[in-house]
Structure 1
Amino acid sequence: MAAGEFGRAVRRWRDRVSPEAAGLPVGGRRRAPGLRREELAGLAGISVDYVTRLEQGRAAHPSAQVVEALARALRLSSTERAHLFRLAGLAPPGSDTAPGFLTPSVQRLLDRLTGTPVVVHDALWTLLVANPPYAALMGDPSMWRGNERNAVWRTFLGPPSRVRHTPESRRALEVALVADLRSAAARYPADQRLQRLVAELRAQSERFAELWDSGAVGRHEAARKTVDHPHVGPVTLDCDVLTVAGSDLRIMVYTAEPGTEDAERLELATVLGTQTLVE
């Protein structure tokens, strides 16, 4: 990577992305119209210090995962994304690795769902982007790092989520996620990130290893979920999982039936959570 070129490109593209365009709440006076470093760091799921060192040319050889996250947060076009990979001394990801790129059309879809909790995962169930209503409903994921951003890892090894489960629904979720990950492993056999994730899960979770070795099959389908929110109480929502053809992205959308108490609680949770995120 040429000294400073990668950092200058990140800084230039950061300056052109407004907080509104990135789906962030706008509060207080700003010296520049673009994203702050801490905002870019939160969107990309990396530390502010690392963003600073990258922009100043003091950090060399960022990983493909970091470059992908920055390209996504900066809303780069496919051509710009490929250029950023090359500036990092990396080849742009090919068809043998799970895509982590949000196409402009998917990004426009997310931009229009400003009042609806939405989260996007890749084929490995690694979180790519979560909008403010989702953070308000489920808890802010912007500080998650590494495997913490992966829904399979969090299901088997992470702390409990706000979603209420019965033993049956928990098992169905586990089976569906393992089956999904196995399918991804067949489609992307050269994806080293996927291989590392499966190896770590098998080593650390007996339950995951049991399901993986048994060849369990299932599908992650639409369902009604009850979220135990710490401030507004239980909220029962419909959760639909949309798959983007050609990119294997999973878009999870949470909605409540209009005019119900759940809809009122969801709206209140969104307002309270957004206020907290702004502070």
Structure 2
Amino acid sequence: MASSRSDFAALLRAWRDRLAPADAGFATTAGRRAPGLRREELAQLAGLSVDYILRLEQGRAKHPSDQVVGALARALQLSREERDQLYRSAGLLPPRDGTVSAHVPPGIQRLAARLGDVPIGVFTADWTLVWWNAMWSALHGDPAVLPAAERNLARALFGGGGGVGASMPRIRFEHGRGAFEASIVADLKDATSRYPADGRLERLVRDLRAESDAFARHWATRPAAAQHTADRKTIRHPEVGDILLDCDVLIVPGADLRMVTYTAATGSSDAGKLDLLRVTGASTPRP
């Protein structure tokens, strides 16, 4: 076990030193001495404390959870093979094939980090938010304040967790909330057909069918509605007021992820409000 903790600590330090700050969305300065990410930056990206990162790198934190290891793997932009190695070095089984993956490929993270002017959130096949940039937080509020289980869009729409109050009442949909709900349920139906062995997805659907009459009604509808790919949404922001934005959902081939982006026409008042958020409301990107 001591050897396993030592391997985990060594991998964590090596991969932190390897990751260029710019690829993680951090500005670089001439006086920067660290070859890669600072511990503080990795802690921000992974949603962990700096002290916990230090204890992990020193081998003093003995049993990181699979949620912690997954967050570190995304923050460090590991390949799938490296992610599995990190899991095994922590004494955990890597995520199984045939289940919904929360792995965000390094290239997708680098692309999203370079599009810092655009609010971007990356969702898994079951609509769980696993990566977001500073502009996403500026627009919607920081998802890190929510427990990881409540960063699921379907739970925010139909459940009773903190995600409901955090976002849904502040959004108006051009085609109506009902059409949006139906499209999200259609996506979950498609996910269950592709991941029949995923217990977490099965529990999500079972819980929402029991908790929400609206979800149960959409789930029983045949045929299913079209999947969610685009919409125009009005975000009621507490500081800059209503912002009308085009919301597009880009499918990441080979990774079964959805990259959600918000944009406004150049020169419009809504683009001006996004510019204001970029100056006043942006914070550190988080996976």
Question: Which structure 2 residue ranges, 5 or more long, are not aligned?
Answer: none
User: Which moves more between the two structures, 233-242 or 167-176?
Assistant: 167-176
The match for 2:257 is 249
1:161 partnered with 2:164: no
Q: 2:108 aligns with which of 102, 106, 109?
A: 106
TM-aligned CA deviation for residue 82 of structure 1:
2.2
TM-aligned CA deviation for residue 257 of structure 1:
0.5
Alpha-carbon distance in structure 2 between the residues aligned to 1:139 and 1:68: 22
TM-aligned CA deviation for residue 85 of structure 1:
1.8
* 2:245 alignment partner, SS class: strand
Contact 1:64 1:85 in 2 (8 A): yes
Q: 2:229 aligns with which of 208, 221, 231?
A: 221
Alpha-carbon distance in structure 2 between the residues aligned to 1:194 and 1:7: 32
Alpha-carbon distance in structure 2 between the residues aligned to 1:145 and 1:25: 28
Contact 2:183 2:228 in 1 (8 A): yes
Alpha-carbon distance in structure 2 between the residues aligned to 1:257 and 1:213: 38
TM-aligned CA deviation for residue 47 of structure 1:
5.2
TM-score, normalising length from structure 2?
A: 0.83
Which of structures 1 and 2 has the larger relative contact order (alpha carbons within 8 angstroms, sep 6+)?
2
* 2:176 alignment partner, SS class: helix
Counterpart AA for 1:250:
R
Query: For 1:43-54, what aligned pairs fall within 5 Å after superposition?
Result: 43-46=45-48, 50-54=52-56
1:138 partnered with 2:140: yes
Query: For 1:64-213, what aligned pairs fall within 5 Å after superposition?
Result: 64-156=66-158, 157=160, 158-161=164-167, 163-165=170-172, 169-213=176-220
Give the total of aligned pairs: 277
Identity of aligned residues (%): 50
Alpha-carbon distance in structure 1 between the residues aligned to 2:151 and 2:33: 31
User: Which moves more between the two structures, 224-233 or 108-117?
Assistant: 108-117
Contact 1:228 1:234 in 2 (8 A): yes
TM-aligned CA deviation for residue 192 of structure 1:
2.5
* 1:67 alignment partner, SS class: helix
User: Which moves more between the two structures, 85-94 or 18-27?
Assistant: 18-27
Alpha-carbon distance in structure 2 between the residues aligned to 1:47 and 1:177: 34
Contact 1:15 1:35 in 2 (8 A): yes
Alpha-carbon distance in structure 1 between the residues aligned to 2:119 and 2:217: 33
Q: 2:11 aligns with which of 6, 9, 12?
A: 9
User: Which moves more between the two structures, 262-271 or 165-174?
Assistant: 165-174
Counterpart AA for 1:183:
D
Alpha-carbon distance in structure 2 between the residues aligned to 1:236 and 1:154: 21
1:80-128 per-position Cα deviation (integer Å, ceiling 9, x unaligned): 2221122123343343011222223322321331211111111011111
Alpha-carbon distance in structure 2 between the residues aligned to 1:178 and 1:33: 45
Question: Which structure 1 residue ranges, 5 or more long, are not aligned?
Answer: none
Alpha-carbon distance in structure 1 between the residues aligned to 2:222 and 2:68: 32
Alpha-carbon distance in structure 1 between the residues aligned to 2:5 and 2:177: 49
1:236 partnered with 2:244: yes
Contact 1:11 1:55 in 2 (8 A): yes
Contact 1:118 1:251 in 2 (8 A): yes
Alpha-carbon distance in structure 2 between the residues aligned to 1:47 and 1:212: 40
* 1:195 alignment partner, SS class: helix
TM-score, normalising length from structure 1?
A: 0.85
Alpha-carbon distance in structure 2 between the residues aligned to 1:24 and 1:66: 21
Alpha-carbon distance in structure 2 between the residues aligned to 1:195 and 1:49: 36
Contact 1:240 1:253 in 2 (8 A): yes
The match for 1:273 is 281
Alpha-carbon distance in structure 2 between the residues aligned to 1:38 and 1:209: 44
Contact 2:174 2:231 in 1 (8 A): no
TM-aligned CA deviation for residue 256 of structure 1:
0.6
Alpha-carbon distance in structure 1 between the residues aligned to 2:84 and 2:233: 39
